Structure formats: C-alpha cells, structure tokens
Amino acid sequence: MRLFASIPTSIPAFILTLCACAGLALAQATVNPDAAKKPAVTIDITKPKEGPGKVGWWNDAVFYQIFVRSFQDNPRGAKSGDGIGDFQGLITRLDYLNDGDPKTDTDLGVTAIWLMPVMQSPSYHGYDVQDYKQIEQDYGTNADFQKFVAEAHKRGIKVILDLVLNHTSDKHPWFTESAKPKSEQHDWYIWAEKDPAYKGPWNQKVWHKKGPGFYYGIFSDRMPDLNYANPLVTREMLDITKWGLTDMKVDGYRLDAIRHLFEDGQLQESAPQTFDWLKQYFAATKEANKDAFSIGEVWAPSDQASMYVGGMMDAVFEFDLAGAMVQAAREGKAQPVIDAQAKVLALYPPNQYGRFLSNHDQTRVMTQLRDDEASGQVAAVMLLTGPGIPFIYYGEELGMTGDKPDENLRTPMQWENSRTAGFTTGKPWRAVQPDIARKNLVTQRKDQDSMFNLYRKLIELRTQSEALRAGSYIPVESANPGVYAFIRTAGTTDPRGRNATDAKLIVINLTDAPIADYTLSAQLRLGDPAVSTELLRNVPITEAKWSDAGTFVGWKPFAELEPKRGYIIDLKVK
C-alpha cells in the first residue's frame, strides 16, 4: 500500500522541518494503533483556566456567517437576476450588517464576516475546491472579491474565509494529474494499489476506485484527501494561505474539517501528525500576518476539540456548548448549559472558542426549537451575552427555519415578504422558506419585540461592554431550575470580580411560565455597587442587599420573571 511520498531534494528547509516535525519526511509511516491513546484526564470544572480574556481582535468581534450564493443577487449589472448571490450583491447589503456609523440603529452591528467557500468549485456548496486562487464565477471575479473586502474594511468589518485544507475536488488539476500512476504528482493524494477496505469514522466508504488503484477520500469520492506527508502539498497550501492574507487582504480563516488532515492507518481523526503539522502551519500563518485569526471546525466533544487551541489555532467551534444552549432553550432547564459552560471554562484559554447556535451543516436553530420565537429569543440572549466568540448564521436574526437536506439549510436570505424575498429579480437558485410572511427584515424592523430588534440590541450591548465581549464569567446560583444566571466582569483579574470596572448580571427565565419563586446568590467581591439598571427593556429593579465584600444572597431583582425572557443588569460599581 503506497501512502506517503518520497522527499524531493529541492524543498525549502522550512517545509522539510514542518513535515519532519510531524514524523513524516524520512520514511513511510508505521501504523501505531496506540498513537492517539492518551491517559484519561480528570477535569475540575470548578476551576476555569486562567489567562487574558482578550488576545486578538476576534475577542471584540461578533461574527456573521454568510453563504454568498444565498445572500443577495446583484440587483443590477451582468449577473443581475440569475437567482444566485454574488459579491456585487453582497456589497449592496453591507450597510445592513454594519454601516460603519455607531450613531445609527438600523444596521445589525456585526463586526466580522465568515464567508463559506468562495473559490472555484463544481458544487453549489464550494467545499470541493477546483482552483484555490480563483473566485467562483457564479459569485464574480477576484476583483469583485477584493472590492468587497475593501468595502467591508471601510465599515470596520473583518473578513475570514472558509479554507478547505483536507481535500480538493476530484476535478482539481492536481487530482487529474495524480491519477496517473507515473506522474510526479501521484503522491499529492493518498493511493493504494489494492482496496484497504476499512471504513471511515461514521462507517462510510473512504477508499474509492479509479483506474488501476484506489484513492482515499473521507467525505466523498468527489473529495479526495490531500497527502500532507508530501512536502510539496504543504508548500502549496502554505502559499495559498499566505496569498489570501496578503493579496486578497482577508483577516483569517475558518479551517474546515481540520482534525482529518492526517491518516495514521485506520486512525482518521486527530492523528498525532495533525497536531504537529498544525503547530508549524499556525506559526507560518502568523508570520504572514501576526493578526490573522484562525478558527477550526473540530466537530468533537469539548475535551477533544479544546486540544487544538493554543499553538495550533486561535480557537475552535464549541459544538457541545451549542447543543447545550439549544437544549436549555427548548426544554426550559438551565442545567445543560450550566454544565457545558463550566466544562468549557475549565478546558479552554478564556474566551478562545466560537459559540454559536447552528451552522450550515445543522438543522437551523429555530427548527430545532419547533419554531417557537420565545425560545429563539432566550437562545439569542445566551449566545450574545456568554463568554467566547459569537457567530450568527445568516438569517438567524430573523428566525429563519430550515431542515435537512443541506440545501434547505442554506436557502435565500429573507429580506422582504415577496416571492423572491428581495433576494433576486429572477428565480432563486433555491425556493425561499414558506414562513417568509413573518420572517423577513422589512416586517421585523417595524416590530420592536421582533427577533431582529432583539439581536440588534444584544449586539449593541455587547459591543459597548468590555465585560460582555471579553470578560470573566462568574456563575450565579438560582433556587429555580428554570433560571439561568451569571455575571460577566471586566477590568480585573480577580476571579470574583474585585475592582471590576464593568459588571453585567444576566438572568434568563428559560421556561414558558412566569417565575416568582426564585432567588439569586453569588460569591463576589465587586466592592460597593451603586444603583443597578436593566438594559434590554429598562425593567424596574429591586436592589440587592450587598454584603461588605460585594456578595449578594437570596436576591430577587424582579418580582416576577416573564416567560422565556432574558434580562441584562448593569451592576454599576462606585
């Protein structure tokens, strides 16, 4: 079975070092079934990891995930009315995301964008790249993309790209050449003369027949995996990474399917070589742009995902926490999110993880919540007040719904109540959702209690508050299992908030009934709190009886908590 490349003599020393660090350069790999087995680690979830709450611009950001194909078709010009979103159309909607003027209140207020794949691809989704340096022609040209990035930057919006390192399209010229057994590029992918026959992590077929041999593709026969044992592959992907940061001026990357980068025999997830390679890749990325942000898709439990943060990536997406927030909102019970958040705090450097509710691969959050708007609103409060880096999937702020298949999770943005949702003047590439009448921007702008206006207000409050953006998290005990409460503090390194310059108490009634039977208690050292203010709806507050140390016990800030309602209290400190 031929899995790894020989080493050409003309490879730069840095690339050889990168591959050698992964144990790959000198010989074929020896399969070690115990390679990834690590001793069990006991996590004390009462002890959050220490460190700075802010290490880069991303800790101040609110991200918005966009599928360009579904966001906005250019209303005029050559591609107008083709039913497919493009960069010219996206530019016309940037002022919706953030108009760059902090005095206005009509924009959503996000400060960063994650673009799903935008490079040339034979598929609608773009995760099988055919040319890494050419913008998908449906979306425009490289110049259109560069104009979009420039316009986003003018408004204070950072832009990160989805970068698919693990595999390419089977239509990529590299793979076409690699399929020739005697080609110099044969070892750019992983080939075997006979079918190894073993299956993938979810019992899928991973070895695919082509010509006289078989190639490895963990996701599909249309997505062959690259062979990172070959230093030429590493060199090429580093060049593509740096090109995006320098020539295209992007601010970082979301790294797709990153834990599958290396295969060590039948070990197809989180192989030791993947960790070693990423350390060198991370260093090279920072060398190209010290402020570049990298966040990885590691769809795994928190204890596994967190291993990639620190020296390999700036952050990863927190799937367990996402599931717990949705579960709490759906079931009306705080314990799932309390436990998940405590575990995350113990595993990650402070705030260095992406928090989200759903993404392009998952049933949309409102569908998971049975289209209950009140549940969606408390989920939004959890998302945008908790620690970490928040990501909003486009249309989530309108309560858009969608279930499998994947195309139905990625339908056109619902700008207005019309047949084409204001997305295009032609026929949309995919039909809009049937709930367009109430889930569109025009309608929701007029309703102060709408999902859109809640998201806009929450983003505004987060942007204005150091505590909400990058502060510490202090749990608050509640006597009612349907109440989730916590405090965010900034301006202090004391884990109990001593000398905090900014402190916010978040209280959420997750149930669908009013709650009067509750009290809140927290072990704090805030000092001498002044009169508090509720920030979301200016609800009157019953002041706490603070101890001399700044602790409160048995506090009821409101006589009754409304059903499915979140509150943000500014704990002013004298």
Check if 256 is active-site. Answer: yes
Provide DSSP, 554-569.
EE-SSSSBPTTEEEEE
Type of residue found at 534:
E
In angstroms, rounded to a whole number, what is the distance separating the alpha carbons of residues 535 and 555? 18
Geometric angle at alpha carbon 377, from 373 and 380, rounded to 5°: 135
C-alpha gyration radius of the chain? 25
Structure tokens at 94: 């940037």
| Long-range Cβ contact pairs of 445-449 (< 8 A, separation 24 or more) | 445/106
Query: Would you call 116 helix, strand, or coil by DSSP?
Result: coil
* Residue of 297, 318, 320, 466 marked active site: 297
d(CA 486, CA 338): 9
DSSP letter at 300 equals S
Strands (E), 450-498: 472-475, 477-478, 483-490
Task: Give the contacts of 310 (CB within 8 A, at least 6 positions apart).
Answer: 349, 352
* CA contacts within 13 A on the Cβ side of 64: 27
Active-site residue identified among 256, 263, 269, 314: 256
**Under a CB-based contact definition with an 8 Å cutoff, are residues 225 and 216 in contact?**
yes
517 is annotated as an active-site residue = no
The backbone region for 388, taken as left when phi is positive above 0, alpha when psi lies in -120 to 50, beta otherwise, is: left
Q: Please tell me the distance from the alpha carbon of residue 239 to that of residue 219, in angstroms, as a whole number.
A: 25
The residues carrying an active-site annotation are 256, 297
